[in-house]
A and B are shown apart, each in its own frame.
Chain A
Amino acid sequence: MSAVLTFHDVRMRFGDRCAVDGVSFEVNRGEVVGLLGPNGSGKSTTIAAAAGVLEPCSGSVRIAGRSRRDDPAAYALCVGLLPQECALYDELTAAENLMFFGKLYGLSGKELRRRTVRALARFGLGDRAGHRVGTLSCGLKQRVNLAVALLHDPPLLLLDEPTAALDAASRDRLFIDLGRLRDDGHAILLSTHHWDEAELGCDRVAILERGKLAAIGEPRQLRRRPSDRAILYGHLRARPPRFQVQSLRDRLGSSAEMEVTGRRLRLAATSSEALGRALAQVLSEGFALESYHTPPAAIERALDRAAHPSTAEAA
């Protein structure tokens, strides 16, 4: 397999804080690699460095052997980026957004129109072409977002938490799309902090722990590692307000750890009993679950080490 994206000993600092620390890995053609880790582990920074939005303070990021410094335009043409936030102009229609970003990548005239129509059709947006993006649902926005990232047919696709704002059906649809893109030969790097997503759609998973690469491999290899914590992944019916999440987190205290990203829920506790009690508390607070599952002995050991360094060290 040929490497499309190569990270070599990449370091990235924000002031005194080291966000990415000596990370090296590759993403090959026709491969989906998932960056997995809790909040603050350096996933988004890694994606931004790969996109050329951030410049590493040391190490190198190369696409097809070429760094951004060598030829910024050629580098950028190889990347399709899906940032974490909606990277579209709400005031413009879906088609106008596609046409605008297409022009920035050198597309024009009939070719641009053809690709716009094709991209809209590919993501089931044909009937929404003339709708302003601001009026679309989160799922549809994300599809437009992805259509924009793919319009210029880049060999590398970078997706920063692409499922954060999606419901379960949209998420599944996104992973089907990603599978198709991988089969077309695209190299895909996506970030998530949900193991089930990594397992569902990634060929390899790179686990980041406080900016360092803790492990990388196929999901089935990584899941063989024993876990010393009980984990639950769920999908909420509605996105809860931030204050409600904070209040529940305060009430759970040290007995369980809760993360909510959009409508995605991750609940972790030291034992199955503690996890059951935490789940009961979550439900009693009015958080309605659309679906949930508890992964088998999984990758979570590395993630927990990141979240609870003192516990991990004691263990």
Chain B
Amino acid sequence: MRPPLMSLIAALAAKDWRLFWADRRAALLTFAVPIVLASSFGLIFSRHTEARSATRLPIAIVVEDDGPFTQEVAVELLTSPRFEAVAMTREQAEGAIAERRPSVAIVLPRGFEKVKEWRPGSPGERPPVEIRHHPLASAERQWAEGALTEIVMRRLARDKLGDKADLAPPFHIEAAAATGANHAAFNAYTHSFSGMTLQYLLFWGMESGLLFLRERQRGAWTRLQAAPVPLAAILLGKALATAAIALLVVLATFGFGYLAFGVRIHGSHLGFALLALAASGLAAATGLLVAALGDTEARARAVSILVILGVSMLGGLWLPAFLLPGWLRDLALSLPTTWAMRGLDAATWQGRSLLGVLGNAAVVAAFAAVFLALAAARIKAVETRRRKGWV
């Protein structure tokens, strides 16, 4: 009896599903590894984020002028709640900055005392203030510059207007994290779980591709070739099993994130589900592409790891993409990981609606379809050549 195509695909997928679970420990590791990775990244960055709210800038204060105004400014700098300030000599500060301990120093040089003679609109030479900083600490330099300006201007105003003058700014600042939606739901674990899950899906796809590469060297492949099974059914069966396991990885990882770290889907649940499906499809298509392009298992593994790490980093799976230079961010738009990550961010902490996620899911699905088509064309060409004895 001629077997229907769908039942062939189902049988092939079921076989791969069984092969996956045949090694229970390896199967459990497939779920445990992304959870461990995401938890570790989340832990590192959530601590970093919490600490940032109360962070004081480590800074060295070098005072080279003995004037009373200078001394008062120096005391204010040393006791400012914005700084973790230490008094140093110029030499000590230079050495410390080279080691980024701290990264920046404010030097009040000889002649700084003349600042107190300043009047609004008064002409004449203005005394210098030196800010010494590590080459990689330009943000800290700006932070120090702003705080110094505020402290000196307050001190001058107090001198001119008296101690009782109200020197508070004529406004108050309301700061809030902007998530692009109604929720202020950012949780460092959310980004880590999204990024690490996506990265691991690609690794799972690679692993599945390498298994397929190995399977094609085994006797069972000869039997499959002799069976009444079109190549398309074999590839779709393989893709279906890989995608199903990938989807299970997404569910397990986000389920753990929800229970342990409060990772929530604040946006469209349907959008998240579609994106998870698209990302699982992408993992399966990536796997087939690895099997199609890899000559040997060792070579395919080495190249795949390099590519996956590269697209993970550029796609913002490790750290937010805004840390990358602009041209690289533009370049990253050509990667499926960028769109998948944007989609997950939108569905989770940004709290976007289905429409806000759908575009990203569609782009990821399109990438998966293109990869699948490329892999199928390449494997078909290789198998045809093999059948005809050209290789």
Contact = CB atoms under 8 A, between A and B. Distances in A.
A105 B388 contact: no
Interface string B1-37: 1110001100110110011001100000000000000
B228 interface: yes
A14 B228 CA distance: 25
A92 B18 contact: yes
A175 interface: no
A100 interface: yes
A106 B219 contact: no
A55 B388 contact: yes
A172 interface: no
A14 B386 CA distance: 9
Contacts of B2: 73-74, 77, 106
B220 A87 contact: yes
A13 B390 CA distance: 8
B225 interface: yes
Interface string B208-252: 000000000011101111111110000000000000000000000
A89 B16 CA distance: 10
Interface residues of B, number: 29
A108 B7 contact: yes
Contacts of B12: 104
A89 B15 CA distance: 9
Contact of B220 (A12, A74, A89): A89
Contacts, number: 99
Nearest to B8: A104
B227 A101 contact: yes
A53 interface: yes
A212 to B, nearest CB: 17
B387 interface: yes
A196 to B, nearest CB: 25
A51 B388 CA distance: 13
B33 to A, nearest CB: 21
A52 interface: yes
A84 B225 CA distance: 14
B1 to A, nearest CB: 4
B146 interface: no
Nearest to B21: A91
Contacts of B229: 76, 104
A96 B8 CA distance: 15
B1 A107 contact: yes
A72 B228 CA distance: 7
B23 A104 contact: no
A54 interface: yes
A244 to B, nearest CB: 25
B169 interface: no
B121 interface: no
A76 B11 contact: no
10 contacts: A12-B389, A48-B222, A81-B222, A83-B223, A87-B219, A89-B15, A103-B3, A104-B11, A105-B227, A106-B1
Interface of A: 12-15, 19, 48, 51-55, 57, 72-77, 79, 81, 83-89, 91-92, 96, 100-101, 103-108, 132, 148
**A-B pairs with the 9 shortest C-beta distances?**
A85-B219, A87-B219, A91-B22, A106-B1, A106-B3, A76-B228, A103-B11, A73-B228, A87-B223
